A and B are shown apart, each in its own frame.
Chain A
Amino acid sequence: MTEDFDTQGAAFDRFLEGDPTAVPGLEAFDRALRSQATAAELVGEHTVVTLMSAAIVVQPASLLDRGHIMLNKLKTRAAVLTFAGTLVFGGAAYAATATGALDPILGNDTKAPADTTTTVGDTTTTAVATPTTGDAAPTTTTSDTTDTTVAGVTTTTGDGGGDTECDDAANHGDYVSGVAHDKDGESNHGKAVSEAAKSDCGKESDDVDDDSDDSDDSDDSDDEGSGSSNNNSNHGHGNDTRNNEGNQQNNGNHGHGNDKRNNEGNQQNND
């Protein structure tokens, strides 16, 4: 049965390949389907071919034009996208540079505005007159001139610590206290107190020598405290500007004085 089925299948395959005698009884069927075209099947050739020719002639031209337009559109799109991308990325890069967002990347730790110039000029002169006679209290003349120019604004700070007589003070602390409680120099009150604290008024001559030694120690503190020099809460009684230029901007704060003992040295470093 299976062999008969396979034989019949092979015969059908040969019949379908074009052998009409492969399947007995289907010769007429095959001959009829594969016969030559009849006249009825070839009617209307002229009409159909004319319509086809018209459709073909119109179509390629439109396709070529469409392709050309598409090419132009692609070029235009590419140009527009390139321009837009340049604007977007260029603007983002400019904004990042202006706000300093790229400083960690570019390695710019500090950034100063191009149109801002900061000039700090300090001159501190301390004259200590040791009395030749032992009864008189030591006389100290302090003259400070501080010129600070920040962003085109120049502030000149004069000496405000001379209102309280040094002779009236029993010792150095009394002198500084007197200066601190003196309300005459309101504008430079903190600076005057600072200068009074740094002065040698009411001190013994040995204390003055010790202060000079302390000044050497303060150099050491400059080296050690450089990392915390920017911590300027300024509520204390001294605003240490020994190693910090930015602290010059905080002169008007609540601090009671500015310590400028090493400003000369800082001037040299700044130069």
Chain B
Amino acid sequence: MANEDTGAAALGLDTDIIASARCGDRNALGTIWRALNPKLLRFIRTLGVQEPDDVASQVWLEIARNLHRLDDDPIRVRGLLFTIARRRCTDAHRRSLRRPQQSLDALRPTDVPTWQPIGDIASTLDAEALLRRLAPDIAELIALRVIVGMSNAEIAAITGKSEGAIRVATHRGLRQIQALLDSSSSEQLSVTKPDAPAMDQL
């Protein structure tokens, strides 16, 4: 309970804001959006969705439609937000598999190795790019843990995995990130990105 209060305070939201948002208060909705939209975009980008802004807009609209199902707890609103985000990302991946759209950056020669030396992390985009080098399910767990700030219990409720499995997977991912960062000067170590999305829900 103390963790939930801490999480809600870290979000900058309280029950009054959620209650006002449920009544359609634009200021309250704007407050919620400003508190959660950056995390939502980073999470969606980490999962490798091609149009993260479009997916984020769909998620917010769906939240508005389902806000009446929740109480005034900000933690639950955040949980619903990222639950919907995971599903919309899955839909986006499936859609991209049905109608693949290849960017010009992807048209590179095939003899180029899939690993590249990791330089200094100067921005959020660099950190997200580093996460995308991991397996998608591990990258998702680390994003929820670090970017969103969820506990293992909240992630377990969203993903359906056990807290122990989440802890082990996040530790493995952090170890891989450490290795990637340490290999910036070494050419031997590489963590290859899977060719196809390996998310469990795909």
Contact = CB atoms under 8 A, between A and B. Distances in A.
B68 A48 contact: no
A25 B26 contact: no
Contact of B53 (A29, A34, A44): A44
Interface string A56-98: 1101100100000000000000000000000000000000000
A52 B182 contact: no
B65 A55 contact: yes
Contacts, number: 114
B145 interface: yes
Interface size class on chain B is 35 or more
B9 interface: no
A16 interface: yes
A50 B181 CA distance: 43
A159 B48 CA distance: 118
A16 B170 contact: yes
A47 B65 CA distance: 16
Contacts of A28: 120-121, 127
Interface stretch (B29-37, B70-78, B85-93, B102-110): B29-37
Contact of A52 (B29, B130, B181): B29
A25 B60 CA distance: 35
A48 B26 CA distance: 10
Interface string A29-50: 1101111111001101101111
A50 B121 CA distance: 36
A62 to B, nearest CB: 10
B19 interface: no
A100 B42 CA distance: 81
A12 B146 contact: no
Given A25-B181, A52-B29, A52-B63, A32 B24 contact: no
Contacts of B68: 59-60, 63
A120 interface: no
Nearest to A47: B57
Q: Is chain A's interface secondary structure helix, strand, loop, or mixed overall?
A: helix
Contact of B64 (A12, A32, A37, A55): A55
Contacts of B67: 56, 59
A63 B67 CA distance: 12
B198 interface: no
Contacts of A23: 174, 178
B61 A29 contact: no
A170 interface: no
A45 B34 contact: yes
6 contacts: A28-B127, A47-B57, A49-B29, A50-B26, A51-B60, A55-B61
Interface of A: 8-9, 12-13, 15-16, 18, 23, 25-26, 28-30, 32-38, 41-42, 44-45, 47-53, 55-57, 59-60, 63
